[in-house]
Structures are given as C-alpha cells and as structure tokens.
Amino acid sequence: MSGNESIIGFESIVGQEQPIRLLTTLLQNKTIPHALLFLGADGVGKKMTAMAFAMACNCMVRRKGDLSSDTKIRDDYRSIPDQTIQRGPGDCCPSCRKIKSGSHPDVILVEPSGPFIRIDQIRNLCSTLALKPYGARLRVVIISDAQAMNPSAGNALLKMLEEPPDKTVLILTAMQTSDLLPTIVSRCQHIRFNPIPRKHLEALLVEKRGTHPDDAKIIAAMANGSVSKAFSMTRKKNPIDWINRRIWLIDEVQSLSKKPMAARLAFAARLVKDKEALGDSLEVLKSWFRDLVVWKYHSGRILNTDLESKIQRASPNMTVASILSKINNIHAAQKNIEANTNLRLTLEVLIMRLAKV
C-alpha cells in the first residue's frame, strides 16, 4: 500500500467500520492507550488507518485558543472527522499535510529494512523517543509489520512499549498475535481488522482502477480480502496477467497426469521463472484443490465461483483423499521454499507429485 495511491482519512478506509468505530471512541473518550496493536491480514488498511489516526490526533483544525496548552487539545476531537470531510482529507491543516507527505517529525514510521526490523532501528527509535516531541500533541510511532522484528529487536522494544514517555503512542501492525513475542502482545491493546468483504473489494476495483466488473469479481476472490493484493494484481505495470495466469495454471495442473515427463518438468521450470508470482501461484492451486474438495460437500462455498462448471467436471473424478494429499504436497513445498531449498528441485518434485492421479 503506497502512500501516494491512497487518500488518507478514516472515511477512505473501506470495510473496516468496527476498528474505526473503536478508534473514534478512544479519541472521543480521550482514553488513548500508549500501545495499540492492529491485527489483520495483509493489505486490509492497517497502516492507512494508523496514519489516519495520527492525523486525527494531531489535526489543528478548529483548535481555538492557545496552541501550546495541552488541556485544550483533547476537547475538540469530536469535531475533527466532519471537518476533514469538508476540506478534503489530509488537506485540512499543515499538520495533516505533513503527516500525509511523511515529513512530520513526530510521526515516526518504522518499517522492515529487508526481511527484518533490526535492533538498530529499535534502538534509534528508543533514543528518539527519549526526547520531547517537536510540536505534536501526540507523538505517534507506527511500527508496521511488527512480526518482522527479530527477537532481539522485539525485546529491545519491550521496556519502551510498557512505559513510553508522555504524549507518545506506539502503534504496531501485525498479521496475528501468534507471530509476535507474547511479551509484546501482552503490552498492547488489540484492534482487529477484518478481511475486506468481497463485494467492497469488487466495488473498489471497479471504481478506483476501472477494472471490468467481471474481472473485478475474479480478482476480488483471489485477493483474499486484501486491498493491496487486489490492486497489485490489477496494476498495469504488473507483468503477470493474473486472470489468464490462473486459468493457465489450473488447466496445466488438471492435465498434468496425461502429459509426458518432459512437459511436467517444463511446467515446473516455468513456475520457477516467475519467482515473485510463485507464492501466489501456489495459493491459486491450493484454493483450486480446496474447491474441488468443498464442491463434494457444499457447492455453495467454493471460492472460484466463476469456474464452477470446471469444478463440477473435475471434482467427481478425484477422491477426497487424493485431493487432500495434493493440498498437503503444496503445503510441504511452500514450507520448503520458505526454508530456502532449491526452488527448481522443490517445484519439480511438487509437480510430479501433483501429476499422480
């Protein structure tokens, strides 16, 4: 989710009524805790909400009287949301503009550099926080993808997370509590973000991206409730045309058993070639096999609704046990890929296993 693409402000966040309601109550009751943990799948708007929250905490609109007095500050939270709508979100005051452009000195964003958030980043953060804020009413630290903190970084954050200095809020975002240190989890108040409903996603794609409604339906199903994933799938620059790729993948896998060995290996090689798309490709296959099983029990619950006729044809030809073992095979391959095994070998083994009837 890149900042330029999204318009900031609570109202632009789709499908997250519940967390936003919680946050506004926190603002209204003036009971903002010092540490918040936003939980939810990737790309459902956690970071965007955190930014919007930072703005709402620091917006200067309608702030009458003395600028430096803290007592006044919290009195006018209630008025902020409607003001923001009137002026256009993120443009109401210098503070919001600064936050939006990422140059506000008291809104600190910590992101993974490479695969991890390193201990140096956390140490820097702690030493920055030891100083007084420059001018914000409430300093906001956003640590996005907190699960990327390696153990030493996580531990280094603990003390700060438990008792940060005055006028400071730490917001952590993560997928699940189980990915974080329990000591971190216990220090935060949790706010859950739900996956974006498919209908919202469809509408969003059609509206923002001008995607064809039929395509939008498919992409929304594939994106698994994640806006950023859906957007990245429809991006013009994206070399992979996901709609056609999905059909290609499924057709290939279904015909694997009839093909000669050379063709199977070639298929594996092609999968390996698009390294970035590999993860998603495997997920596509997994959801396809899942649908094959689910069809047998409850045809209304399949995910790939546009392929219903295909599933209907393919499903009766396979036993539940064999499909389950295929899902397991894909799963094992994913685990191996994560463990940095040779991609080509892993994929070849996987494809050969999938080819078994």
Partner 1 sequence: MSYLVLARKYRPQTFDEVVKQDHITRTLKNAISAGRVAHAILFSGPRGTGKTTVGRILAKAMNCKDGPAPVPCNQCSSCNEITAGNAADVFEIDGASNNSVDQIRELRGNVKYMPAHSLYKIYIIDEVHMLSIAAFNALLKTLEEPPSHVMFIFATTEPRKIPITILSRCQRHDFRRIDVESISEHMEKICKKEGVEIDPKSLGLIAREANGSMRDGLSLLDQVISCTQGTISHDHVLDILGVVDREIIFKISGAVFREDIAEILDILDAVYSAGHDMKKLYADLIEHFRNLLIVKMGEKNRKLVDIPAHEIDLILDQVKKVPTIFLNQIFDLLFKEEITLAHSSHPRLAIETVFIRIFQTKPALPIDVLIAKLDNLSKDIYETKTDFAVPENRSTPQDERKDSQSTLNKVTGTAESLETFASAPETPVDQDEDIKGTWKRLLSIISEKHPSLAANLKNSMIKKLADNRIEIEVNGSHFNINMILRNKNEAIIKKVCSDFFGKKMDVVIVPKKIKDPKHQEKKSQAGRLKQEALSHPLVTDALEIFNGNVVDVKIL
What are the percentages of helix, strand and coil residues in the chain, rounded to 5?
Answer: 60, 10, 30
Contact between 29 and partner 1 per CB under 8 A:
yes
Interactions with partner 1, residue window 119-148 (CB under 8 A): 119, 122-123, 126, 138
Is residue 197 near partner 1 by the rule CB under 8 A?
yes
Question: Smallest distance from the beta carbon of 41 to partner 1, in angstroms?
Answer: 8
**Given candidates 12, 83, 150, 334, which one binds partner 1 under the rule CB under 8 A?**
334
Task: Kindly determine how many residues on this chain lie close enough to bind partner 1 according to the rule CB under 8 A.
Answer: 64
- If the CB atoms of residues 168 and 211 are measured against partner 1, the closer one turns out to be 168
> What's the min distance (Å) between Cβ of 259 and partner 1?
26
Spell out where 114-259 has E strands.
Answer: 139-143, 168-174, 189-192
Burial string for 202-218 (b: 16+ CB within 10 Å, else e) reads: bbbbbebbebeeebbbb
Q: Which of 320, 342, 345, 356 binds partner 1 (CB under 8 A)?
A: 320
Q: Provide, rounded to whole angstroms, the least separation between the CB of residue 101 and partner 1.
A: 26
- 336 touches partner 1 (CB under 8 A): no
Give the closest residue to 143 by CA, choosing from 182, 105, 163, 169. Answer: 169
Torsion of CA 219, 284, 282, 3, to 10 degrees: 20
Residue 280 CB, shortest distance to partner 1, in Å, is 11
- Contact yes or no for 159/194 (Cβ under 8 A): no
CA–CA separation, 183 vs 234, rounded Å? 39
Our finding on whether 32 is near partner 1 (CB under 8 A) is: yes
Binding partner 1 by CB under 8 A: which of 152, 257, 317, 342? 152
Residues facing residue 139 across a β-bridge:
168
Instruction: Evaluate whether 43 touches 228 at the Cβ level (below 8 Å).
Output: yes
Interface with partner 1 in residues 252-281 (CB under 8 A) = none
| Contact partners, residue 229, CB within 8 Å, separation at least 6 | 42, 43, 222, 223
247 binds partner 1 (CB under 8 A): no
Quickly tell me which residue has 């309608």 as its tokens: 62
CB of 306 to partner 1, least distance (A): 18
Is there binding between residue 159 and partner 1 (CB under 8 A)? Answer: yes
> Which one, of 355, 357, 284, lies nearest residue 322 by Cα?
357
**Pattern 223-242, binding to partner 1, x per CB under 8 A?**
-xx-----------------
Minimum distance, C-beta of residue 174 to partner 1, in the bound complex (Å): 11
Among 79, 113, 186, 238, binds partner 1 (CB under 8 A): 186
What is the pattern of x (binds partner 1, CB under 8 A) and - over residues 284-313?
Answer: --xx--x--xx--xx--x------------
Tell me which residues in 49-108 interact with partner 1 (CB under 8 A): none
Tell me, what amino acid is at 98?
Answer: K
Q: How many CB atoms lie within 10 A of CB 89?
A: 19
Residues belonging to the chain = 357
Based on CB atoms, which residue is closest to partner 1, 110 or 156? 156
Give the shortest CB-26-to-partner 1 separation in angstroms.
6
Q: What angle do CA 220, 225, 231 make, to 5 degrees?
A: 55
DSSP states of 149-181 as a string?
B-HHHHHHHHHHHHSPPTTEEEEEEES-GGGS-
Q: How far is CA 19 from the centre of its chain?
A: 15
Q: Which residues of this protein are in contact with partner 1, per CB under 8 A?
A: 18, 22, 25-26, 29-34, 39-40, 119, 122-123, 126, 138, 152, 155-160, 162-163, 166-167, 176-178, 182-183, 185-190, 192-195, 197, 224-225, 283, 286-287, 290, 293-294, 297-298, 301, 320-321, 324, 327-328, 331, 334-335, 338
